[in-house]
Structure 1
Amino acid sequence: MKLASFAAAVTALTLSQAALAASGTITVYTSQPNDQMAAVVAAFNKDHPEITVDVFRTGTTELMTKLEAEFTAGSTPADVMLIADAVAMTKLKNEGRLLAYADAPIGGLPEAVVDPDRTFFGTKLITTGIIYNTNLVKTAPTSWNDLTAPDVAKSLIMPSPLYSGAAVIHVDTMVQQPEFGWKYYETLADAGAVAGQGNGTVVEAVSRGEKAYGIIIEYMALNAKAKGSPVDFVFPKEGVSSITQPVAILKDSDNIDAAKVFVDWQIGKAAQEQSVEQGYFPILAGVNPPAGYPALDSLKIMPADPARMLADDAANKQKFADLFGG
């Protein structure tokens, strides 16, 4: 047997032994929608009926508040975190709350979605790009810079980072890019661009023709298009910001073996194929994206430092509010 094949066989055996040893109950704190999470648990239990998964679901901000209160009280029932916020995960990591899972099966995952210290791992990809109304726009934009043209910017709406976690990631990513920075947002504001609340306000405004252009997460735009709204979506040539919905094990979990099996499954093929069915980009090599989505390796993902996002979070939100209100 070749060395690579032998190593793969050993890894598979080790994982299967770990799965056999794991049982009992784990509690997952998540921001993923309830219907999607119910399907996730059902699929996981099809593969691992020996592990019971209890779910507590709410928005990331409320989850973090709940966790902080539980930490202050001395303990939390949570074993696993599954949230669409690498910045919040970085905060937990910096506070020493996450388990370093050094031997997690990360083969096939992009380096960008894996914490270098192996405390959290991306499970899917949600990108932000440009939606436009096809009845109002005759030449589709191809670039973030296309939005700064005065006649375009005055008909542009975007989600606010004061309301949307995805907008936090997008704004913080854009201002970290040397070619954009806060100058980009100042230009948009001066030309009349506006901020709504969440991504829902953006897709509604553009679909109804109240605005011709919007900044939005891709699946909301593509779902609206599939349902017949007069919209289309662009992945700008400079790149897109991304949310990876990381999964992590809390260091003080009382069922680490079962929690590891859940993490392994989340970054494995079965969960990745399920994420496609739910309308997300998969992150595992060899799993095709949803119909109508470009190949993942054709996208340029703009780099961003979660630690810098965390450090700059309050200042960035204040700067955005100064420009666009809120």
Structure 2
Amino acid sequence: MFNWKKKALFLALAGLALISAAGCGGSAGKKEAGKGGEIVLYTSQPEADAQKLIAAFNQDHPDIKVKVFRSGTEEVISKVLAEQTAGTVQADVLLVADNVTFEQLKQKDMLEKYASPELKGIPEAYIDKDHTYTGTKVITTGIIVNTSKAKGDPKAFADLAKPEFAASAIMPSPLYSGAAAYNLGVITRTQGMGWPYYEALKKNGMTVTKGNGAVQKAVVAGEKAYGMIADYMANNSRKKGAPVKFIYPAEGSPAVTEPIGLLKTSKNKEAAKAFIDFVLSKKGQETAAKMGYTPVKEGVQPPEGLKAITDFKALTVSVADLFQNRAADKERFTTLFQK
């Protein structure tokens, strides 16, 4: 027998979904020909940094309202893909951890090609050849050390697997953090490290937590003496007076570029392009540097305490290789650390 109560509930929920979609994009759709209205940004940036970026953008574009959904990269992308399946993508612009994540969306034909006029000064290595996304900064992963709790200084990633550092280190999970997922793919394909390195970390009592923010909190509080972390987070904590320092590992550093891209389904592409242009502009890059990030654009100085992109060794692996193996890498990591 047909259940009319279930049908009524379904129609009500569908109506709410349409209202929600209209609320996020309706007014922006009317402004598509210009650069006003509203856009929705999905990002893995810390909430405070996203708001600082938007505030700087609004100094130049006060007529464009930017709404934000913020979470870890993996959750942001899961949300976008679920919305794509339902035909209700709310995001106009994506700003998340790494290019491998964007390759996933590119393969699904979800990204609009857009060659920003602000690309000058950005190395080609950080620009997608098809212009579906562009790096906005360079974030390396290294080692944060709590100087009041540490019994010694690790010089390399390999040191964290040594007995003297047993049960005293923490790292973000690749199941939550896009940067950590990228690091996993790079490190397991780096000569002298590979999967044996992660196996050694497991044996040495490495703690796995949700994301870089949790690593930062644990090491700053002294709950752990060491952590694998994004450079800017350790450096910002140091500048705020925390007893920590950041070490660029001897093997080299995995480096994500936190790309930005435009969704094909955007209801306000002109305003979205204006936002992308600002992020890649000199002023946008200076804003990023003030927030503690290493800028991707030549001629913009990195923040005190961090190296410029030409001054550290970057560990690199084929993006295609990382993209094709990301799911398998995360599955193997889960199996390893659930033992």
Give the TM-score range, shorter chain: 0.7 to 0.9
Aligned to 1:99: 112
| Alpha-carbon offset, residue 27 of structure 1 | 1.7
Give how far 1:299 is off: 1.4
Of stretches 227-236 and 103-112 in structure 1, the one that deviates more from structure 2 is: 103-112
Measure, in 1, the Cα distance between the counterparts of 2:148 and 2:204: 22
Q: Secondary structure at the match of 2:112?
A: coil
In the alignment, structure 1 residue 263 sits paired with structure 2 residue 276: yes
Counterpart of 1:196, as a letter, is T
TM-score (norm 2): 0.80
| Offset of residue 64 of structure 1 | 2.8
Distance 1:170 1:231 in 2: 22
1: CA distance, partners of 2:82 / 2:223: 42
Q: Which runs of 4+ in 1 moved over 4 A?
A: none
- Distance in 2, matches of 1:272 and 1:30, equals 19
CA contact (8 A) 1:23 1:258 kept: yes
Q: Which residue of 2 aligns with 1:8?
A: none
Q: Specify the SS of the correspondent of 1:126.
A: strand
**Residue 75 of structure 1, CA deviation:** 4.8
- Aligned ranges 1:113-128 → 2 under 5 Å: 113-128=126-141
- Specify the alignment match of 2:335 in structure 1: 322
Residue 25 of structure 1 aligns with which residue? Answer: 37
Aligned counterparts of 1:282 and 1:81: Cα–Cα separation in 2: 18
Matched, 1:56 2:68: yes
Greater alpha carbon shift after TM alignment, 156-165 vs 234-243:
156-165
Q: Distance in 2 between matches of 1:211 and 1:72?
A: 41
Deviations 1:73-130 (A, max 9, x none): 4353433222224333111101111122246432211223211221100112222101
Instruction: State the alpha-carbon separation in 2 of the partners of residues 199 and 75 from structure 1.
Output: 30
Aligned to 1:87: 100
Alignment-derived partner of residue 311 in structure 1 = 324
Check 1:184–1:23 CA distance in 2 against 1; reply closer, same or farther (3 A cut): same
Given candidates 158, 167, 187, the residue that maps to 2:180 is: 167
Structure 1 unaligned runs (5+)?
A: 1-20
Q: Can you give the 5+ residue segments of structure 2 that lack an aligned partner in the other structure?
A: 1-32
Across the two proteins, how many residue pairs are aligned to each other? 305
The residue type paired with residue 66 of structure 2 is D
What is the TM-score normalised by the length of structure 1? Answer: 0.83
**1:298 partner SS:** coil
Distance 2:136 2:163 in 1: 38
Q: Which of 288, 297, 316 pairs up with 1:275?
A: 288
- Identity in percent: 43
Output the CA distance in 1 between the equivalents of 2:92 and 2:219: 40
| Match 1:70 to one of 70, 79, 83 | 83
For 1:28, what is the secondary structure of its paired residue?
strand
1:1-326 matched pairs, under 5 angstroms = 22-31=34-43, 32-49=45-62, 51-59=63-71, 60-102=73-115, 104-137=117-150, 139-325=152-338
- How far residue 298 of structure 1 moved from its aligned partner, in angstroms, is 0.4
Q: SS of the residue aligned with 2:315?
A: coil
Instruction: Note the aligned Cα RMSD (angstroms).
Output: 2.5
1:154 and 1:69, CA in 2 relative to 1: closer, same or farther beyond 3 A?
A: closer
d(CA) in 2 for partners of 1:203, 1:25: 37
For each residue in 1:15-43, what CA deviation from the matched residue of structure 2 results, as whole angstroms up to 9, or x when unmatched? xxxxxx84233523222333333332232
Aligned in 2, Cα 1:98/1:26: closer, same or farther, shift over 3 Å? farther
